[in-house]
Structure 1
Amino acid sequence: MTLTLPELALSADAQDLLFREARTANTFTDEPVTADEIRAVYDLVKYGPTAMNSQPLRVTLVASDEARQRLLPHMSEGNRAKTGTAPLVAILAADVDFHETLPEVFPHVPGMRDAFAGDVDSRASMATLSAGLQIGYFIVGVRAAGLFAGPMTGFDAAGIDKEFFDGTALKTLVVVNIGHPAPDAYRDRLPRLDGARVVTVV
């Protein structure tokens, strides 16, 4: 059962913009997307919750032709052309060393950094989960800015990590093409599971 408008706080137009009418775009117009627009998106979505306020998402904007040419060989064949022509591409990565910033986001709790310093496996697990949450917020934020996103996982993550993040603790999770959709941007929408299949009351 779909909730009717009075049961939701968002207006119908906002619901459509963020969800019902929003689509994954595969082709874009040549209208540019600026880094400032993406910074504004991040400044909105940074308030979404993450485990221990860890905020491990790191966004690398591939804006120059030189950087685009470094990225393209690591994309799968089916994604290469659309990544090559998108106005802006973002590499969304998890920072496994997010504990280094914990003193900034937990200034009232001494020792937070040191509590995570020795356990790389736990940090990697937390970073992947929380950055995944932030990726969802990021995509909705792109939609809120009136832009369209084309998130992809078809790429050589190890290759991108070596090309862009060598010597760091960043691990690539998703590559997102961003822009304004071209007329042929969308495939037919695939079915979504109904709430009755997903929501259980116990």
Structure 2
Amino acid sequence: MTALAQTSALDDTSLDLLFHDARSVNAFSDAEVDPAEIDAAYELLRWAPTAMNISPLRLTVVPRGEQRERLVSHLMPGNRDKTLAAPLTVVASADPAFHTHLGTLAPTREGLAEQLESQPERREQMARTNGLIQAGYLVLALRSRGLVVGPMGGFDADALDADLHAESGWRSLLVVNVGWAAAEDGTYPRAPRLEAGDAVVTL
């Protein structure tokens, strides 16, 4: 077993960047986002925990243009204009065929890939649950790079996947607009959150 190094807590500036001051935004500055930023964010989030290291998250990067218009056609009306205007958009998806990579990701789990091959429903559930875990880390990874994000539901997942993921078989989870902060980002005043006393129980 590898020993874990003793780590120190993040400072307040880092915590503000990731949590306290971070917001989901609807508008961005005019500055372009290099798609390489998504690669850099993935290099961080890929270390997030998943069950048996299955790592099912897949990212489809959609720049402005024809492909963005295809994507937007599957969004609810309220999500279309802001997505067309975003510097970059990412579809975060789960890959139900994650088991084909287990020889690399989980080499000690002998026979697991073969077992899961005949269990498509189990794979779908595992991919979705663990893909959503990784999608949360995606938001944090992008924020840690100084970017601001607008993650959204509100789309026809079946139609989107039939259009953009027909060959891969990926299942879309979230659409995430990505950019640099604007002076006016279109956010509403921050809503309150539950206190720990309302959400945490110690047994």
Which TM bucket (shorter chain)?
A: over 0.9
1:72 Cα offset (Å): 1.2
Please list, as runs of the form range in 1=range in 2, the aligned pairs for 1:91-106 lying within 5 A after superposition. 91-106=91-106
Larger displacement relative to structure 2 (24-33 or 178-187): 178-187
TM-score scaled by structure 2?
Answer: 0.93
Larger displacement relative to structure 2 (103-112 or 74-83): 103-112
Structure 2 match to 1:195? 196
Whether the aligned pair in 2 keeps the contact of 1:93 and 1:174 (CA below 8 Å) is yes
Q: What do you get for the CA RMSD once the two structures are aligned? A: 1.1
| Aligned partner of residue 175 in structure 1, secondary structure | strand
* Aligned mates of 1:78, 1:108 — CA distance in 2: 47
List, as ranges, runs of 4+ consecutive aligned residues in structure 1 with deviation greater than 4 Å.
Answer: none
Structure 2 match to 1:119? 119
Structure 1 match to 2:82? 82
Please list, as runs of the form range in 1=range in 2, the aligned pairs for 1:27-46 lying within 5 A after superposition. 27-46=27-46
Please list, as runs of the form range in 1=range in 2, the aligned pairs for 1:130-141 lying within 5 A after superposition. 130-141=130-141
Whether the aligned pair in 2 keeps the contact of 1:83 and 1:177 (CA below 8 Å) is yes
**Could you give the per-residue CA deviations for residues 124-151 of structure 1, whole angstroms, max 9, x where no partner exists?**
1000000000000000001000000100
Percent of aligned pairs with the same residue? 38
Structure 2 match to 1:54? 54
Whether the aligned pair in 2 keeps the contact of 1:103 and 1:112 (CA below 8 Å) is no
Please list, as runs of the form range in 1=range in 2, the aligned pairs for 1:159-198 lying within 5 A after superposition. 159-185=159-185, 186-198=187-199
Counterpart of 1:98, as a letter, is F
Whether the aligned pair in 1 keeps the contact of 2:161 and 2:169 (CA below 8 Å) is no
| Aligned partner of residue 69 in structure 2, secondary structure | helix
Structure whose residues are more often helix by fraction: 1
1:159 Cα offset (Å): 1.2
Whether the aligned pair in 2 keeps the contact of 1:93 and 1:131 (CA below 8 Å) is yes
* Aligned mates of 2:65, 2:197 — CA distance in 1: 47
Return 5+ residue gaps in structure 1 as ranges: 1-7
**Could you give the per-residue CA deviations for residues 24-47 of structure 1, whole angstroms, max 9, x where no partner exists?**
010011111111111011101111
| Aligned partner of residue 73 in structure 2, secondary structure | helix
| Aligned partner of residue 49 in structure 2, secondary structure | coil
Return 5+ residue gaps in structure 2 as ranges: 1-7
1:181 Cα offset (Å): 2.3
Whether the aligned pair in 2 keeps the contact of 1:151 and 1:176 (CA below 8 Å) is yes
